[in-house]
């Protein structure tokens, strides 16, 4: 229906009745306007779709109530610390791969779509909350299940008449598990805060200076200052925003590499060449330009959704062509320009070096990096609400892939099934399998 609308209306907005009711589909050329106009509200979209006033939905609530604290923390503290957290990501990746995939040189099988989110949860938690909680199995379970339970509950609640929701939400499948995740998550975060406070108070009595904690608990507190805020809610929101999208991206990238051994070889050779020369320096990942191009092509060719930049209008908006969008309309910006033949030659073909070639053109070096957002590249959104954590997510995926490709060979265990969709959302095949085996690596990553 969406692509029929794109063809029929030739660059103009149109409406479809989606799984959540009427959606106004804006072609990608409207991305700049929507991203820069405060009348298109991201917070009201969260209010409408993720029920922040109900128990269990503390993550979405924190993303609205504490938006400034969260975005500032991610944009400044986390992004500025990328060079410092590389060692932690490498250490946790090495441990996680050993635990999950082992050291067997014989071919084995795995359903990687089921493993990607737990793997990313472990890596992200190491950076967000430190090594103690990265080893806490219950927190890692929550990091994976909270978003799943929230999506299940939200989808079902949207199909219930608005007036009935306050009375029936407790009986919706998934809500009890969601609520338990939120309660258990709050207990774990509170216990960790108390543990750190006890250490600080004890050191203070002894006259010992306590260094600031370089993770999200410490960063949130620094940014908030004296302002009261919900630490546990912020952590659940961070988990919701980071882990599952990054896990899906890692999975899609690995399946693409497993599908074509030659691409896998070329990307691995670039990794080895850069790391052998530079080690894990700040600029090492930047120098892996083929890897960056490949990941951006995955984002273009295998989007998690046909839409991006979901908003709700706070008031009626008159578009330049005279179209009036009513107050309360749900807006979604299409990723149709990902297939724009004016910008992309042979857009229907997956080309891992596409953006590497585009970046090599005079003056284009910075315009086609994976983390660069334009109307032709909306995987991370656009404008004020473009994903603030995309710099960390990019580094995390690249580091994970470095370890996975240099330490293991990968191939498809069986032909991939066609993609299937829930509305505009692409749902990965949880049963899709990869084969892997331990290989003799060209360099010892743990000594770099």
Which tokens sit at 106? 């014989």
The CA R_g of the chain, rounded to the nearest whole Å, is 22
The structure's pTM equals: 0.94
**CATH architecture of the domain with range 2-447:** Orthogonal Bundle (1.10)
Q: Is the pLDDT of residue 331 over 70?
A: yes
pLDDT at 75: 93
pLDDT band of residue 206 (cuts 50, 70, 90) is confident
Among 138, 144, 97, CA closest to 118: 144
pLDDT at 420: 81
Q: How far apart are the first and last CA of the chain?
A: 51
Q: What is the pLDDT of residues 393-418, one digit of tens each?
A: 999 999 999 999 999 999 999 998 88
Share of the chain above pLDDT 70, in %: 99
- The annotation status of 387 as a binding-site residue, yes or no, is yes
- Mean pLDDT calculated for residue range 417-443: 90
The DSSP line for 308-370 is EEEEEESS-EE-TTS-EEPTT-EEEEE-GGGG-TTTSSSTTS--TTHHHHHHTSTT-TTTSST
Which tokens sit at 114? 């089921």
Q: State the chain's mean pLDDT as an integer.
A: 93
Share of the chain above pLDDT 90, in %: 83
Q: What is the pLDDT of residues 249-288, one digit of tens each?
A: 999 999 999 999 999 999 999 999 999 999 999 899 999 9
Q: Is the pLDDT of residue 241 over 70?
A: yes
HSE-CB at 41 with a 13 A cutoff on CA atoms is 17
- Mean pLDDT calculated for residue range 381-403: 95
């Amino acid at each position: 229906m969406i692509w029929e609308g794109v063809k029929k209306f030739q660059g103009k907005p149109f409406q479809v009745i989606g799984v959540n009711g009427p959606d106004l589909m804006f072609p990608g050329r409207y991305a700049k306007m929507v991203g820069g106009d405060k009348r298109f509200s991201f917070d009201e979209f969260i209010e409408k779709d993720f029920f922040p006033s109900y128990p269990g939905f503390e993550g979405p609530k924190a993303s609205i109530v504490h938006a400034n604290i969260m975005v500032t923390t991610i944009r400044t503290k986390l992004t500025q610390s990328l060079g410092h957290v590389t060692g932690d990501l490498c250490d946790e990746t090495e441990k996680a791969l050993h635990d999950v995939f082992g050291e067997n040189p014989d071919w084995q099988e795995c359903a990687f779509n089921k493993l990607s989110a737990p793997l990313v949860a472990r890596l992200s938690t190491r950076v967000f909350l430190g090594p103690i909680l990265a080893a806490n199995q219950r927190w890692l379970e929550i990091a994976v299940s909270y978003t799943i339970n929230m999506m299940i509950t939200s989808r079902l609640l949207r199909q219930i008449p608005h007036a009935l929701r306050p009375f029936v939400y407790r009986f919706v499948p998934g809500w009890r598990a969601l609520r338990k995740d939120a309660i258990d998550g709050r207990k774990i975060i509170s216990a960790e805060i108390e543990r750190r406070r006890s250490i600080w108070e004890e050191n203070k009595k002894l006259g010992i200076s306590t260094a600031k904690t370089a993770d999200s608990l410490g960063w949130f507190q620094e940014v908030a200052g004296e302002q009261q805020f919900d630490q546990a809610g912020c952590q659940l929101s961070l988990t919701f925003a980071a882990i599952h999208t990054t896990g899906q991206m890692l999975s899609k990238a690995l399946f693409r590499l497993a599908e074509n051994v030659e691409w896998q070889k070329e990307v691995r050779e670039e990794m080895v060449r850069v790391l052998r020369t530079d080690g894990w320096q700040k600029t090492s990942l930047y120098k892996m330009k083929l890897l960056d191009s490949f990941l951006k092509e995955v984002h273009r060719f295998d989007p998690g959704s046909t839409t991006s930049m979901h908003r709700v209008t706070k008031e009626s908006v008159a578009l330049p062509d005279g179209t009036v969008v009513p107050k309360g309309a749900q807006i979604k910006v299409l990723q149709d320009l990902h297939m724009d033949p004016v910008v992309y030659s042979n857009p229907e073909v997956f080309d891992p070096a596409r953006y590497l070639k585009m970046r090599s053109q005079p003056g284009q070096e910075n315009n086609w990096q994976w983390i660069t957002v334009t109307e032709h590249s909306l995987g991370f959104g656009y404008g004020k609400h473009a994903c603030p954590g995309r710099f960390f997510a990019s580094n995390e995926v690249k580091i994970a892939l470095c370890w996975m490709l240099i330490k293991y060979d990968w191939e498809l265990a069986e032909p991939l099934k066609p993609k299937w969709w829930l509305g505009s959302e692409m749902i990965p095949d949880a049963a899709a399998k990869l084969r892997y085996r331990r290989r003799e690596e060209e360099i010892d990553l743990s000594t770099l």
